[in-house]
């Protein structure tokens, strides 16, 4: 029996590894230069890859092995569990599965190709965002914000149909709904996560209100707004998920306007003892016509072929983004090559986000600005203070936004028949403290692409930030002998041994306990960003 399981796992991994690699390569190709041909190649590669998990015969066998509690070694038991979890959401009739992929692709295409009606012409999402970032005229800001919501009206009914199908299939598989299924498959305890979010909402209430009042006053003065309300077009992005640069006392972009962002990224990782030379060589870092405008890291084969895509500009945002993406990349690079394929990967989305976030925060760290950024002690002190304030505001704004979205998304799956338009604004008003536009009854929620393309995902960003703070606390207290994060090779060594190398050998919380001595503890984040100090 045991050897039967071992043989199966080996066969499965031998089959899935090349399909995964092929899919990743096609994804990379498409990101470098979009074309219909490459898009088709990607969809086909994805279908070949996912089809493996569609095999119901195989799934029945895996399930039986899992429930019979055969004694296997811990590594094999973990592999079997993860393979099982990968099969579950694909245990759907082939034509239904294809229908779901087709619907998802259609909605994503709509998001990519939609042009809003704006000032008598057409405007892309980026153009509308530029207006929200730079325009001083509040009437024009309002028009751009409203235009950014048109896509919601366009996709809402299709998205609701897709959600109904996702729910129906999840119920067929024995789950209450798709949302609960995805939590379980991500090894997240829904009750625990929601009570944690409630606590974070409660704890951050005073400091968020205080920070936001100050921000609102700055923005209103800038845009000459006398209205007491804080309508959503006051902010620099369509969802108030980012800290508006216009609200900062000092522009951090000044620091990086003449910097070599790539060299600073190399210097940062070298300073903590991690070599990213090979990763930089394989990366595609600068803007080009036809190239994806986003940033991501892709582990092509779990064997060292790791690729980062960025579109570097000489500003603070790209400095932070580079540090973030190469955080993902070092996690993938320094895995344990002796582990089997399915475990040679981060323990969880939230753990790799944590490493990326931990490093991405450094561009606002006074000590980093001096050691790596090359600022004089005086400048680092002055700029660093305002950088730290910005970082805290960013954290609080993102936290409140993520709580809004996560709460809404659960309701979307639990009861999509309720008045979603008003529910959305109820959460936005309560958690983000943004005034709903009067008499507005539009599916504004549907203009957030994540609800369609990355369902039940957002909670991982918050959990990742919490873990990042916990790691930093542990590193300061137990890992570095003196000084701080940057400039200490012990940091890299600690991360490699305790976070990267274990791969997916343990579930994320066990990993965290082994790495820091305790399970996920939100107090470290609270101490760093929420407590008034
Ligand atoms: Zn990331």
How many angstroms is it from 356 CA to the middle of ligand 1?
A: 6
When pLDDT is cut at 50, 70 and 90, the band that residue 384 belongs to is confident
The whole-number pLDDT of residue 35 equals 84
- Give percent of the chain above pLDDT 70: 99
CA of 418 to the centre of ligand 1 (A): 33
330 CA to centre of ligand 1 in angstroms: 12
Instruction: Look at residue 71 and tell me whether its pLDDT is greater than 80.
Output: no
pLDDT band at 269 (very low <50, low <70, confident <90, very high): very high
Residue 70: what pLDDT?
Answer: 74
Question: Are 453 and 107 a contacting pair, CB within 8 Å?
Answer: yes
Taking the centre of ligand 1 as the mean of its atom positions, its distance from the CA of residue 225, in whole angstroms, is 36
CA 101 / ligand 1 centre spacing (Å): 24
Q: How far is the CA of 149 from the centre of ligand 1 (A)?
A: 25
Residue 68: the pLDDT is 84
Nearest C-alpha neighbor of 53 from the set 6, 4, 94, 25: 94
- Rounded distance from Cα 226 to ligand 1 centre (Å): 39
How many helices (H) and strands (E) are present in the chain, helices listed first? 23, 4
Nearest CA among 269, 248, 265, 247 for reference residue 256: 265
Query: For residues 18 and 21, what is the distance between their CA atoms, to the nearest angstrom?
Result: 5
Q: How confident is the model at residue 533 (pLDDT cuts 50, 70, 90)?
A: low
> pLDDT of 399-435, one tens digit each?
999 999 999 999 999 999 999 999 999 999 999 999 9
Q: Region 50-72: what's the mean pLDDT?
A: 89
State in Å: Cα 340 to ligand 1 middle. 24
Q: Which of 252-256, 291-295, 296-300, 378-382 has the lowest mean pLDDT?
A: 291-295
CA of 364 to the centre of ligand 1 (A): 17
Q: Is the pLDDT of residue 286 over 90?
A: yes
d(CA 116, CA 125): 8
pLDDT over threshold 90, residue 39: no
- Res. 529: pLDDT tops 90: yes
Mean pLDDT of 377-398: 92
CA 411 – CA 424 distance, rounded (Å): 10
Distance 296 CA to ligand 1 centre (A): 7
Torsions phi, psi for 382 (to 5 deg): -70, -55
Torsion on CA atoms 444, 398, 512, 342, rounded to nearest 10: 40
User: How far does the centroid of ligand 1 lie from the alpha carbon of residue 496, in Å?
Assistant: 18
Question: How far, in Å, from the CA of 298 to the mean position of ligand 1?
Answer: 11
Lowest mean pLDDT among 201-205, 304-308, 349-353, 380-384: 380-384
Enter the tokens of residue 209. 């209100």
pLDDT reported for residue 380: 87
Interval 79-96: pLDDT, tens = 999 999 999 999 999 899
Output the pLDDT for position 475.
Answer: 97
**How many Å lie between the centroid of ligand 1 and the Cα of residue 55?**
31
Across all residues in the chain, what is the average pLDDT?
A: 94
pLDDT at 180: 98
User: Which tops the pLDDT comparison, 378 or 194?
Assistant: 194
What are the structure tokens assigned to 220, written together? 């209103």
Please write the tens of the pLDDT for every residue from 136-185. 999 999 999 999 999 999 999 999 999 999 999 999 999 999 999 999 99
Q: Which residues pair with 118 in a beta bridge?
A: 121
For residue 239, the tally of other CB atoms under 10 A from its CB is 18
Q: Name the more confident of 385 and 183.
A: 183
Centre of ligand 1 to C-alpha 328, Å, is 7
Quote the tokens at residue 401.
Answer: 């936004």
Report the predicted TM-score, pTM, of the whole model to 2 decimal places. Answer: 0.95
Residue 358 Cα, ligand 1 centroid: separation in angstroms? 11
- Determine the pLDDT at residue 1: 61
Four-CA torsion 100, 105, 106, 109, nearest 10 degrees: 160
* Cα–ligand 1 centroid distance for 355 (angstroms): 9
Tell me, in angstroms, the distance from the centre of ligand 1 to residue 354's CA. Answer: 8
CA of 156 to the centre of ligand 1 (A): 27
What's the average model confidence in pLDDT over 447-466?
95
CA separation for the pair 218, 231 (Å, rounded): 14
pLDDT digits (tens, 9 = 90+) for 318-347: 999 999 999 999 999 999 999 999 999 999
Output the CA 365–ligand 1 centroid distance in Å.
19
What does the pLDDT average to over 224-231?
93
How far is the centre of ligand 1, averaged over its atoms, from the C-alpha of 360 (Å)? 9
Compute the distance from residue 229 Cα to the ligand 1 centre, in Å. Answer: 34
| Ligand 1 center from residue 325 Cα (angstroms) | 6
**C-alpha 202 chain-centroid distance:** 23
CB neighbour burial string for 385-423, b if at least 16 within 10 angstroms, e if fewer: ebbebbbbbbbbbbbbbbbbbbbbbbbbbeeeeeebbeb
């Amino acid at each position: 029996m045991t050897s039967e399981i071992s043989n199966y796992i080996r066969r499965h991994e031998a089959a899935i590894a090349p399909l995964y690699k092929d899919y990743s390569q096609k994804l990379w190709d498409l990101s470098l230069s979009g074309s219909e041909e490459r898009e088709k190649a990607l969809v086909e590669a994805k279908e070949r890859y996912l089809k493996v998990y569609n095999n119901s015969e195989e799934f029945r066998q895996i399930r039986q092995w899992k429930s019979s509690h055969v004694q296997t070694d811990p590594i094999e038991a973990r592999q079997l569990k993860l393979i099982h979890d990968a099969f579950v959401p694909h245990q759907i009739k082939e034509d239904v599965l294809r229908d779901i992929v087709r619907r998802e692709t259609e909605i994503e295409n709509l998001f990519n190709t939609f042009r809003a009606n704006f000032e008598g012409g057409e405007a892309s999402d980026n153009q509308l965002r530029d207006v929200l970032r730079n325009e001083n005229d509040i009437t024009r800001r309002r028009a751009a914000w409203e235009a950014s919501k048109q896509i919601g009206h366009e996709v809402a009914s299709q998205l609701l149909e897709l959600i109904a199908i996702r729910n129906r299939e999840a119920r067929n598989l024995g789950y209450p709904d798709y949302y609960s299924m995805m939590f379980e498959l991500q090894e997240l305890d829904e009750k625990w996560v929601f009570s944690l979010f409630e606590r974070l909402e409660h704890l951050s209430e005073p400091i968020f209100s205080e920070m936001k009042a100050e921000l609102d006053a700055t923005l209103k003065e800038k845009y000459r707004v006398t209205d007491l309300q804080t309508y959503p077009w006051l902010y620099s992005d369509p969802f108030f998920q980012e800290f508006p640069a216009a609200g900062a006392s000092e522009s951090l972009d000044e620091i990086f306007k003449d910097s070599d962002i790539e060299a600073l990224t190399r210097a940062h990782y070298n300073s903590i003892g991690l070599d990213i030379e090979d990763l930089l060589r394989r990366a595609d870092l600068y803007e080009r016509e036809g190239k994806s405008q986003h940033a991501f890291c892709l582990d092509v084969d779990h064997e060292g072929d790791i690729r980062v895509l960025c579109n570097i500009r000489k500003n603070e945002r790209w400095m932070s983004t580079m540090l973030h993406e190469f955080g993902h990349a070092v996690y993938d690079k320094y895995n344990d090559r002796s582990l089997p394929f399915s475990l040679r990967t981060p323990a969880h989305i939230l753990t790799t986000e944590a490493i990326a976030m931990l490093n991405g925060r450094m561009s606002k760290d006074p000590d980093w600005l001096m050691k790596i950024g090359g600022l004089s002690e005086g400048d680092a002190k002055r700029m660093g203070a305002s950088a730290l304030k910005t970082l805290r505001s960013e954290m609080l704004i993102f936290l409140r936004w993520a709580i809004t979205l996560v709460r809404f998304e659960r309701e979307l799956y639990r009861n999509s028949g309720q008045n979603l338009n008003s529910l959305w604004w109820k959460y936005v008003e309560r958690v983000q403290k943004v005034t709903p536009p009067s008499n507005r009854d539009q599916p504004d929620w549907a203009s957030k692409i994540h609800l369609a393309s990355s369902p039940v995902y957002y909670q991982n960003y918050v959990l990742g930030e919490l873990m990042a703070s916990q790691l930093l606390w542990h590193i300061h207290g137990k890992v570095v002998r003196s000084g701080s994060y940057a400039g200490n090779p012990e940091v890299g060594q600690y991360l490699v041994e305790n976070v990267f190398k274990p791969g997916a050998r343990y579930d994320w919380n066990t990993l965290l306990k082994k790495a820091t001595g305790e399970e996920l503890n939100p107090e470290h984040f609270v101490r760093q960003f929420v407590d008034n100090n």
